[in-house]
Structures are given as C-alpha cells and as structure tokens.
A and B are shown apart, each in its own frame.
Chain A
C-alpha cells in the first residue's frame, strides 16, 4: 500500500473542506482526483503532502507517517503545486540545479530532467521569459527530479492553452512508465481520462465515486446521448416511445432535449424521421458518448468546470 487515507476530516473556520474521506492508493497506480473548484481536492492532497495536518483521521504513506518520518517522506514524494512562481531572474538550469541540491543530486540528473521536460533549448533562459506552459513543465521537472516513488500534481495544467496542456500530458504519460504512483487533481475530465486509470470524484469535501472510467460509466449511467434543439412543437413524448430510447428530457424554454439511448446508430435515423414528420426545424444536433461530466452532473447537480 502506497497511500492510505483513513477517516480524514479537515475544516477551515466554518468550512468543512474534507469530510471523512477514505482512500487507498496502490503502488504504481495513477489516480485522478476530479471535482470542481472547492471540492476539497487540494486540501486532501495537501494533507497527503504533509503540508496540512488533518483535524481527525490518519494518513499513512509508504507505511510511514508525517509526524515521525517527515525527512524520509520528503525524499520519496515529488510534487507540483497549483501555482508556484519561481525566482524570475534564475535560469531554468539554475532553478533545477538549486532544487537538485536540496535532494543531494548531481548536475547529471539536472541535464536528464531538462531533456525529459523538453526545455534543453531554454536552459539558459530566465524564468521571467518562459511561457505559462514552459513554467509548468519546469514545475513538473522539479517534481520528478528526485525520481520520486509518489508524484503529486495539483491542477498542473490549469490556465494552460490546449497545446501546452497536451505537451505536459505527453511528458507525464511517458513518466508513468517508470512505475511511479501518480496522484493528480484536476477539473478537466479529459486530463483525468488520459492520464489516470482510476478516477476519484469529489465534491463538497466528500468522495462521490471511485473507480476506472468504465466502472464509473457502468455503475452510474448507461447509454449514449442524442442532444438536440428544435424550434417548434415538442416531440419528446413520441421520441420516448422510439425503440432503444432509455429516457428523455426536454426544456420547453430553450427547446433543448436529450435522449439517452442504447445505440446511437439504431435510434438516430428513427429520431430524424420523427422530427421530419413533426415538421419542426432542427437547429442543433449532437450525438456523443456519456462523459465524466455527465456523471458528475447526475451525482452532484454541478458541472466539473464550475
């Protein structure tokens, strides 16, 4: 067992940030803590990182505790915080070298990491001149410097453009092959799906769901979605009788409807015939698989990016 969180609670003034959370992470697992802002993800990982102390409950990491084995655990955990501003007027290589010194590592490791995070060409560039994506890659580089057994990343791609985000994902995906246990907090479902086999959904300090993407989709909702917007009479009642439709809903105000179906290819032609027979105008149509956001919405009434 790499990480074990037992009945952990943490409050700040009158806010219960984490409420009786239990979580077990095995060695080599990649776990995403997924939830909107204020879900309690950061507080939970800060307690795992040893930055915050739980009000109650227990956290054991690599069979050790922060109270007794802080120095040991600091060597075994690499982390990238939600936002760290490194010293503007140090170069990339100097910054990596500085942190390498904290872990007693040599310059060789600094060069290796520069290569991993693809910043060799920026080695002599001051931090102030790096883009947001390059800074996040540097933060990741510092996190992986000591070849940690546990890597904790707190919203590593928040605020990055899609290209920078994908660059970081690629580096992380490659790094996962080293067998490091990864804990990632994010409110991007694509990030959780891409990087982690296991997803833990959190909201209001509690764990709502825990499992692989397939397990979560199977457990909390089946079927694909046909989303449409029409201008005219409501065909929802008739649509509900079409074969393969599991459920339907309709918002009269916006003209927006959703059909949950067993198979899009089976139901879609029938649905389009129905629309045609009603002689209403179809202004928008989207067919898609159910996502984590749909599950989260169903469980919490909120979207992940709220």
Chain B
C-alpha cells in the first residue's frame, strides 16, 4: 500500500517536472511576478498623495496656500504650475508625503476625474476651510485622514476645517470605476474569449481538423474576433445600462468617440490574444500566458484606483499599456465628456498594438 502510494506520488512528480511549461507557470511565474512587482514597488517609501489647493486665481500667490505652507513649515511659494512636496513625520515614526498644487475648481474637478488628485482643499484659513472628496473613495478618505493628522502633528490647532462631500455625478468613485470595469471587460473578453478558445481548439485537435477544410484561416480567426466583439459590446452595454439606472452614470462625451475607442481597444486585445495563443499547446501554459499579460495591467492600469499613486518613474510605462490607454479614453468620454479629436491618438496607438500583435501572432500561429 505504502509502496503503491509512493510510486503514485513519484510518478506524478515526474509527470509534473517533465512538462517544462507547467514547471515554469507553477514556480517560475510567481517568482518573476514577485520580482517585477517587488522592483516596481519596493523601497518606494510612502505613497505620494496628491492634493489640490483650490483658489480663485491659481496663477497668483494666494492666501490659502501660503497660510497652509506656513503651518506645514515649508518655505517655498505655491503658485501657477509649481508643485510643492511635503513629507511629514507622524506618530509612531511613520511618514506621510503630500504633493500640493494650486488650481481652479474646474481644474480640480478634472484632475479628480482622472485620478490625478485624491481631494482638494478650498475656503479661507481659519474660517470655512473645506476638504472636498468622495467619502466612498477609500483612497481619498485615507489622504484626508493623513492630512488631518499631519496638520494636528504640526499643532495647527487654529485650522478649523470641515468635510464637504463630493457626491455629484461625474466625480464620484463609481464614476471612476465603471469605465475601468468596461475596459477590463473588453480585455477579458478578448484574452479569455479568443485566446483561450483557440488554445482549447488546438488541444482538442479541432483547429487542425478545421484547417483541413477549404475554409480560409483568416475567415476562421475573424469569425472568432467578430463573435467576441458582439458579445463584448453586449457586455459593455449591459454594464452601462446597470450603471445608468443604479448609479446615474451618463456618457458625457461623443458616442462616436466611444465606438472608436471600443473598436480600437478591442482590436488591440484581439491582436494580443492571437499572439498569446499562437503556440501554446496545453492549458497550464495557456492559463499562465494569459495571466502574465492580464495581471500586470490589472494591477497597474488604474482600474480600481488611480495609477498616479505609483512611483513617478513608473507612470510613463503604465500610460503606454493598452489597458491604461483604453481605460483613460473611456473615462475621458464618460466622465469628462471628451470628443473624437481627443481620442484619436490613443485609438491609433491601440490599433497599432493590435495590428503588430496580430501580424506577429499570425506568423507564429501553429494550427496543429
């Protein structure tokens, strides 16, 4: 009995280690991910929390920022395009980092929609100072609490500030979230719907059977893309209808721009999925390949929280990820009301990514 068990266990180990793909996705992939994410986020210190100081005339050296700066013990002036960073020691040796920018209310609203700031401060020192943020946004709430604690640490007891919740449509956390979820749904529809499907067909040898017919390979691949595009459009529509009725989310911008962004995002991820599925021969490797593409974007592309909280050096790389481009464009159309002209550049980028990946994938594609 023990000998049988031992033999079974040993033979299963042998099967496992004789499949290099499985070994990599089981052992190599988690280590590689830990290394990449560790490099990206280790030793970055406290997250930089972006705060806007809203004044009537942001170009001028206004009273509120100067008063705040005095309280925070920083000497620099804050006006116009300039930014000011404040790192403050908290109790128990912890530190908090803030970056202040002076701007108008209109600019603050836009920055909030884009996730570039967590909250803004407005009003007059000592009287009716207000923190403006969406109480449902956990990140904004944390920024507020840290800022309050920091001011208290600096004994700014005369700072009498209150919270004025931002709950108007367009700048709530849910307004930020829904476009991100739409983008993620497009990515998943392509990578799992097209990529995984093709891998499965290859494993079943059905791919080989199909290409032995007169059906043109391009039509076969196109049919998969078209099918998923229709399903993905239906998914997006359903999500939007839900968001419309339940969260009162309205598309502020051009529907044409929305269609273009959807199409370009879809093309980008369809191309990526063809490339991913071009050579994979078993489910473990397929699963790993799809995860290696989706996971970093899932974390970095600002679906659930703003990527502006990541280290500054990382942000330019994050912004060229297809999911980031798609999310930002969808967010721009839905919450900011941007039009066709503003989405042409990211859409071209997405079409380009799709075309390159599709061409490469088709070249590498193994039909049997």
* Most A C-beta atoms less than 10 A away, residue of B204, B208, B213, B215: B213
CA distance in complex: A103, B210 (Å) = 11
Q: Give Cα A84–Cα B204 distance, bound, in whole angstroms.
A: 6
Task: Let me know if B164 is at the binding interface, CB within 8 A.
Answer: no
Q: Quick check: A103 and B212 within 8 Å, CB to CB?
A: no
Residues 245-270 of A at the B interface (beta carbon under 8 Å) = none
A75 touching B214, Cβ below 8 Å:
yes
Confirm or deny: B154 has a beta carbon within 8 angstroms of a beta carbon on chain A.
no
Instruction: Point out the residues of chain A lying under 8 angstroms from B138, CB to CB.
Output: none
Contacts of A71 in B (CB 8 A): 214
- Taking CB atoms, residues of chain A closer than 8 Å to B213 are 74, 99, 102-103
Does A194 belong to the interface (CB within 8 Å)? Answer: no
Q: Mark B320-347, 1 if CB is under 8 A from A, else 0.
A: 0000000000000000000000000000
Contact B208 A51 (CB under 8 A): yes
Q: Which of A77, A87, A104 contacts B206 (CB 8 A)?
A: A87
Q: Which of chain B's residues has its CB closest to A104's CB?
A: B214
Q: Which residue of B lies closest to A139 (CB)?
A: B209
Within 77-132 of A, Cβ neighbours of B (below 8 Å) are at 77, 79, 81, 83-87, 99, 102-104
- Give the contacting residue for B205; candidates A49, A74, A84; CB below 8 A: A84
Chain B 127-150, CB-CB to A under 8 Å as 1, else 0, gives 000000000000000000000000
Query: In the bound complex, do residue B210 and residue A102 qualify as a contact, i.e. CB atoms below 8 Å apart?
Result: yes
Question: Is B212 touching A49 in the complex (CB atoms < 8 A)?
Answer: yes
Interface size on B, residues (CB 8 A): 11
Determine the chain A residues whose CB is within 8 A of the CB of B210 once the complex forms: 102
Most buried by B among A49, A50, A74, A104: A74
Q: Does B368 contact A (CB under 8 A)?
A: yes
Chain A positions 128 through 140: 1 when the CB is less than 8 Å from some CB of chain B, otherwise 0: 0000000000000
A71 to B368 alpha-carbon distance, docked (Å)? 18
A86 and B214 form a contact (CB under 8 A)? no
Total A residues in contact with B, Cβ cutoff 8 Å: 19
Rounded to whole angstroms, the CA-CA distance of A269 and B306 in the bound complex is 97
Contact B206 A84 (CB under 8 A): yes
Chain A residues positioned under 8 Å from B214 (CB to CB): 71, 74-75, 102-104
Inter-chain contact B209/A81, CB cutoff 8 Å: yes
- Nearest chain A CB to B264 CB, angstrom units: 30
CB distance from B209 to the nearest CB of A (A): 5
Residue of A nearest to B203 (CB): A85
Question: Please, how many angstroms separate the alpha-carbon atoms of A85 and B209 in the complex?
Answer: 10
**Which chain B positions have C-beta within 8 A of A103?**
213-214
By CB atoms of chain A within 10 A, which of B206, B208, B209 has the most?
B209
B207 to A, closest residue via Cβ: A84
Bound Cα distance A75, B204 (Å): 23
- Is the Cβ of B208 less than 8 Å from the Cβ of A81? yes
A81 and B215: CB pair below 8 A? no
Q: Is the CB of B212 within 8 A of A85?
A: no
- Measured in the bound complex, the distance between the Cα atoms of B213 and A103 in whole Å is 7
Which B residues, 161 to 218, have Cβ-Cβ distances below 8 Å to chain A?
Answer: 204-206, 208-210, 212-215
Q: Write the chain A residue with the least CB distance to B214.
A: A74
Q: Complex: how many Å from CA A50 to CA B208? A: 11
A84–B368 contact, CB under 8 A? no
A289: shortest Cβ distance to chain B, in Å? 38
Residue of B nearest to A79 (CB): B212
Sample of 13 further A-B pairs with CB below 8 A, known A51-B368, A87-B206, A142-B209: A71-B214, A74-B213, A79-B212, A81-B205, A81-B208, A81-B212, A84-B205, A84-B208, A84-B209, A85-B204, A85-B205, A99-B213, A102-B215
